Copies of this chain bind each other. A is one copy, B any other.
């Protein structure tokens, strides 16, 4: 019996994170971590799928509106028909002849594509009773390649090259899955270094996270070079020469400013500078990467699509690939990007934090290690400790490492009470703030 998608609903969920300056950086001073929350209903009792688009608050209702008008492309199909032509399904959703003008493959439109595509994959994994990473890791190289649209990336990666990458590591997948089940995936934390925190708060948090097993820390910069160099020295003092420090400017600079600023902070030996300038500026990032080496350039949370990721790789503009599980058009496009990263030899260090991103990316990093890029050198997944309590199957951290998810699906299902309390504007948590 096929599984028919009978309806899709969308709710506007927002958390008032701006109240504690969590998530504050040079550009985003007061984010309220939010998401349109998508639920796919089917004609199979109890079988549903969830997806989200992560946003910073205002405008979340616009993403929800986008999904509302796009969902008719999905409703009425069977899961089996979608699975039989994943590439075609993705292309149709991402390239509708009228919607496409609003992108293509970027912004609100593409957030909508990602949320719907991920909800379908969540449904698929739940139907198969497997965590998403495992569902992917058990697919054949051919089936995985059939999920990817190559039209705009085949000058950098052909289907045959993608197949070859996947086949090379297919026989040893099981051993790596077993290894991850034991030790989990390495992470770094960005929770100690938000711009809105005081130096004392940062020092206390670094110590707290070190006691819990973290050795890798990221701090926000880009507003006050003297204060930030002082703060970087403070963190370096706490974590020692063996600890890993990263800095993140969240796009605040122009190209020349970025290069100038990095001279001041270079003595503190940051592993990478993240988002030194506008995320569309591929050539600018390439110039910065050349100027600041051996410090790496990390970028990706605001790169819209595989076409842009491709060029960052071709241009030598990206030392670390920070795929974003919600900004890209869902699993299908994530596959394209991590396969290109494997070809170019660029470590994939997913962007996370916000709401639900950690839950998502643990699956992507696990699959990437098991099936695509069998090395953890330079690989670390962002971790931020906000809002996990709202999920049915939240991330589990041990010794600063992500433990392999074991529940079926993509781990993005929220608790009913959280949905009710934080639905905007009618939920109790928002009503009491009015």
Contact (Cβ within 8 A) B66 A28: no
Query: Could you say which residues of chain B place their CB within 8 Å of the CB of A368?
Result: none
Contact (Cβ within 8 A) B283 A304: no
Shortest C-beta distance, A81 to chain B (Å), equals 22
Query: Could you say which residues of chain B place their CB within 8 Å of the CB of A110?
Result: 107
Contact (Cβ within 8 A) B58 A96: yes
Q: Which of A116-124, A147-155, A336-344 forms part of the interface with chain B?
A: A147-155
* A69-B63 CB under 8 A given contacts A56-B98, A280-B106: no
A278 located at the interface, meaning its Cβ lies under 8 Å from any Cβ of chain B in the complex: yes
Shortest C-beta distance, A96 to chain B (Å), equals 7
A109 located at the interface, meaning its Cβ lies under 8 Å from any Cβ of chain B in the complex: yes
Contact (Cβ within 8 A) A27 B100: yes
Query: Could you say which residues of chain B place their CB within 8 Å of the CB of A256?
Result: 154-155
A279 located at the interface, meaning its Cβ lies under 8 Å from any Cβ of chain B in the complex: yes
Shortest C-beta distance, A249 to chain B (Å), equals 12
- The count of residues in chain A whose C-beta lies closer than 8 Å to any C-beta of chain B is 63
Q: Which of A197-205, A235-243, A306-314, A359-367 forms part of the interface with chain B?
A: A306-314
Instruction: Tell me the residues in window 309-334 of chain A with beta carbons closer than 8 Å to chain B beta carbons.
Output: 310-311, 314-315
* A305-B280 CB under 8 A given contacts A102-B108, A109-B108, A251-B104: yes
Query: Could you say which residues of chain B place their CB within 8 Å of the CB of A101?
Result: 28, 31, 55-56, 59, 302
Query: Could you say which residues of chain B place their CB within 8 Å of the CB of A65?
Result: 61-62, 65
Instruction: Tell me the residues in window 275-313 of chain A with beta carbons closer than 8 Å to chain B beta carbons.
Output: 277-284, 287, 302, 304-305, 307-308, 310-311
Given contacts A27-B97, A62-B108, A282-B311, 8 further A-B contacts (CB under 8 A): A55-B102, A59-B109, A62-B65, A152-B278, A155-B254, A155-B255, A278-B307, A284-B307
